[in-house]
Amino acid sequence: MWETLITVASGGLGGLLRLAPEIMKGFDRKHERAHELAMMQIEIQIVEKRLEHEMRKVDAAMTMAEMDAISQAVKEQGQTARAAGKFVAAISALVRPLVTYWFVLMYSAVKIVSMAMAIQAGGDWKEVLVNSWTSDDMAMLVMVLSFWFVGRVYDRQSK
């Protein structure tokens, strides 16, 4: 009887042991798929970084092309003005300063008129003066000052 039981148990254990390699292959496939997934994610990240780098290169090339076009336009404008004579060259040189003066005068006029209207409406002059200077006004001032003074520094450095 024990022999029969041992024979049956040996057959069952042998069958289970024959399934062990298949179970191990299943675990191995699972880990292999996880590894492949991780590798694919890394490859996707590498491709994304390459594309980002290429986009930056294209953006830099476009910026350089724009700067070259602006430089060429300014040179051509200067040559045209010189070829037209001293009078035209002088008028051409005065365009930017005159536009700036006109803009500053008009902007100041609007501010002065709006402050005068606020005072006439019963506002305290100190409060009107403080409230009339906003962050937008500061941005306009910085824009004009940087155009005339910071731009000149870059122009001198590039020569």
DSSP alpha helix (H) spans, the chain: 2-84, 86-120, 125-132, 135-145, 151-158
CA distance 138 to 111: 13
Structure tokens at 156: 């001198």
Query: What's residue 44's pLDDT?
Result: 94
CA distance 137 to 110: 12
pLDDT tens figures, 103-149: 889 999 999 999 999 999 998 888 888 888 888 888 888 888 887 77
Structure tokens at 54: 């290429």
Per-residue pLDDT at 158 exceeds 70: no
Closest-CA residue to 80 (of 69, 70, 94, 92): 92
CA distance 118 to 110: 12
User: How confident is residue 58, by pLDDT bands cut at 50, 70 and 90?
Assistant: very high
Q: Which of 30-34, 62-66, 69-73, 80-84 has the lowest mean pLDDT?
A: 80-84
Per-residue pLDDT at 101 exceeds 60: yes
Mean pLDDT across the stretch 41-51?
95
Average pLDDT value for the chain: 83
Q: Quote the pTM value.
A: 0.43
Lookup result for tokens 């409406």: 121
Query: What's residue 19's pLDDT?
Result: 67
Domain-by-domain residue ranges, the chain? 1-84, 86-159
User: How confident is residue 32, by pLDDT bands cut at 50, 70 and 90?
Assistant: confident
